Amino acid sequence: MTNRPTRRTILIASGATGATALVAACGGSDDSGGDSASTTTTAPGQDGAGDKLADTADIPVGGGTIFKDQKVVVTQPEEGQFKAFSAICTHQQCLVGSVSDGTINCPCHGSKFKITDGAVANPPATRPLPAQNIVVDGNSISLA
């Protein structure tokens, strides 16, 4: 006599397969801490290089400004000190949404990064925002 699977066994197996596929699809970030997402510094002669982003007065002290088209965030941690980072969150590549209270904030999953060095201030991201090259010339801030 051969034991055939019951309807319940088939439904449970199908559900487990579907759940596995869903978890695999949602968990696709490479947040292993490796260097697979290297710094994407814009070099002279490439798209966006030399483009003026803002005047220094446009970047608040203790805060920053996101430039969505260039995918760059420029911060001013202290008066006259300007930093730039990729505006793409290292968790699941969402565009960061705001800069407040000393952090660059991703709206997708709540990751926060320090405006001073791009380091992770609040997970789920585990890697810092890559630094970007900018040039401050007088009152003008441009991509390098």
Say if residue 16's pLDDT is above 90: no
Rounded Cα–Cα distance for residues 132 and 113 (Å): 14
pLDDT greater at residue 85 or residue 12: 85
| pLDDT given at position 81 | 97
In angstroms, the CA 52 to CA 42 distance is 13
Going by pLDDT thresholds of 50, 70 and 90, the confidence category of residue 50 is confident
At 114, which helix (H) or strand (E)?
strand 112-114
- CB < 8 Å & 24+ apart, contacts of 22-25: none
Q: What is the mean pLDDT of residues 25-38?
A: 35
b/e for 121-142, b at 16 or more Cβ within 10 A? Answer: beebbebbbbebebeeeeeebb
Report the side by side order of strands in the sheet with 72-78. 63-67, 72-78, 81-86
- What letter represents residue 71's amino acid? K
pLDDT in the model for residue 1:
58
SS3 content of the chain, % helix, strand, coil (to 5): 15, 30, 50
pTM over 0.95? The answer is no
